Structure 1
Amino acid sequence: MRLTDRFDVRIPDSQLSREVTQLIRDTESDLLFSHSTRVYFWGALIGRRKGLIFDPELLYTAAMFHDVGLTQRYQKSQLRFEVDGANAARDFLRGHGICDTDVDKVWSAIALHTTPGIPEHMHSEIALLQAGAGMDVAGRGFEDFPDEERDAVISLYPRGAHFAQQMIDEFYNGMKHRPQSTFGTFNDDFLAYKDPAFKRVDLCNIILCSHWEHG
């Protein structure tokens, strides 16, 4: 069963999308590539179900770039991995003559996809990327998808038996060299889970020890 035939959700058939696909295929592991593609499908299905107006090409680009900051290319970066991915997508889209308004949507979608409570109040592409990523990684909204929709997506881009642990490993390997970038996000959970020696930053301690208190 093809998802495109049965549910009228498909990867955009454009030169831009084909180039995005090839670039990410050449850059990411099979795990991240399949995950990113599923994120697009989940997001597009949510958008269709909710009657949202969105640009499939922009959503697809955001989905495919959203975890590229975890790859080997960024093993020396000290930025948040989301910002690395957002910057990469921005450079790609600008190189293809995409207008600044659309570039900003994709940048924000990627940069904010691990920031709860904000994306759902922004443009549809931004909200749907976070929703799709949450569905694929943590099963957020799982019960809202009929079995046939879930089965159709997974049949095209399988998760594999050990996806959860492998995805945790991908996050950890993409951020262990920049632990400070996880402050203020839930990304420090991955470092704490994998590294018993990891120390979380405590904002209360920062405030209490600041120059304002001891200057």
Structure 2
Amino acid sequence: MRLADVVLPDSAVCSAAVDVAETYASPALLNHSFRSYTWAAAYGTAQGLAFDPELLFVAALLHDIGLVAEFDSHTVPFEVAGGSVAWVFAAGAGWSRDRRRRVSEVVVRHMGTEVDPAQDPEGFLLARATGVDITGRNVDDFPAGFRAEVLQRYPRLGLVEEFVRCFEDQAKRKPDSSAAAAIGNDLAARMARNPLERPE
């Protein structure tokens, strides 16, 4: 497994997703989004799981957009807000209604506990990849050398502090949200223990 083998999809839609993410996400959240796609695509390829790279890439780049001030919602969880942003983005990109629905589903489902890879390979891959990047769950899916390459390309840049701060804010305003559940499940400590915070 090598980083050079993970090719970022090259399309106008993907370029536009990068533009949106670079405009609104912090550097730490932006790199988290790129790493999430990288973990997801590398794992999916290694497992022989068929997935749509463009759909997965757009979802990965936008999956935390609901955490940024411009798209934060005081009424719905951040992943639901992000799914709505992804739907609107996809509409502007000219995607069909079904494809808009799919990218929205993938963004929303990344905070779920179980995603069936047979029913939603992109949702499964993004959920698994964000688990790797945030708390280190299933980090051993990737050899140490590959992890080092990814972290060199996309450094973490203080992700723990920023992410915990965002989730604590979400939890205060939306106590029934997935972010609140994560804070209640000791997110800060689990993030601090992530082996990706202590690369070999």
Q: 1:155 to 1:114 in 2, by over 3 A?
A: same
Give the match's secondary structure for 1:159.
coil
**Pick from 167, 177, 180: which aligns with 1:187?**
180
**Pick from 129, 132, 136: which aligns with 1:135?**
132
**Pick from 2, 10, 19: which aligns with 2:7?**
10
| Contact map agreement 1:113 1:119 (CA 8 A) in 2 | no
Q: Deviation of residue 118 (structure 1)?
A: 3.1
Residue number in structure 2 paired with 1:170: 166
| Contact map agreement 2:115 2:123 (CA 8 A) in 1 | no
Residue 65 of structure 2 corresponds to residue 71 of structure 1: no
Give the match's secondary structure for 1:13.
coil
Question: How far apart are the structure 1 equivalents of 2:9 and 2:32?
Answer: 17
Residue 44 of structure 2 corresponds to residue 47 of structure 1: yes
Residue 100 of structure 2 corresponds to residue 100 of structure 1: no
Q: Deviation of residue 179 (structure 1)?
A: 2.5
| Contact map agreement 1:90 1:107 (CA 8 A) in 2 | yes
Residue number in structure 1 paired with 2:18: 21
Q: Which whole-Å deviations, capped at 9, do the CAs of 1:91-123 have from their partners, x for residues lacking one?
A: 110111112232222111111111102354532
Q: Deviation of residue 150 (structure 1)?
A: 0.7
Question: How far apart are the structure 2 equivalents of 1:124 and 1:108?
Answer: 11
Residue number in structure 2 paired with 1:203: none
The alignment of Structure 1 onto Structure 2 pairs a total of residues equal to: 186
Question: How far apart are the structure 2 equivalents of 1:24 and 1:50?
Answer: 28
Question: How far apart are the structure 1 equivalents of 2:137 and 2:90?
Answer: 29
Unaligned runs of 5+ in 2: 188-200
Give the match's secondary structure for 2:7.
coil
Which has the higher mean CA deviation after the structures are superposed, 14-23 or 69-78?
Answer: 69-78
Q: Which whole-Å deviations, capped at 9, do the CAs of 1:159-186 have from their partners, x for residues lacking one?
A: 13x4323321122234432334x1xx46
Normalised to the residue count of structure 1, the TM-score between the two structures is 0.79
Q: Percent identity?
A: 31
Q: 1:172 to 1:35 in 2, by over 3 A?
A: same
Unaligned runs of 5+ in 1: 195-215
Normalised to the residue count of structure 2, the TM-score between the two structures is 0.84
Q: Which has the larger radius of gyration?
A: 1
Residue number in structure 1 paired with 2:86: 89
Q: Which whole-Å deviations, capped at 9, do the CAs of 1:119-153 have from their partners, x for residues lacking one?
A: 54532111111011111001111112011211111
Give the match's secondary structure for 1:176.
helix
Give the match's secondary structure for 1:179.
coil
Q: Deviation of residue 192 (structure 1)?
A: 8.0
How do 1:120-159 and structure 2 match up within 5 A? 120-159=117-156
Residue number in structure 1 paired with 2:77: 80
Q: Cα RMSD (Å) of the superposition?
A: 2.1
**Pick from 33, 39, 61: which aligns with 2:58?**
61
Residue number in structure 2 paired with 1:213: none
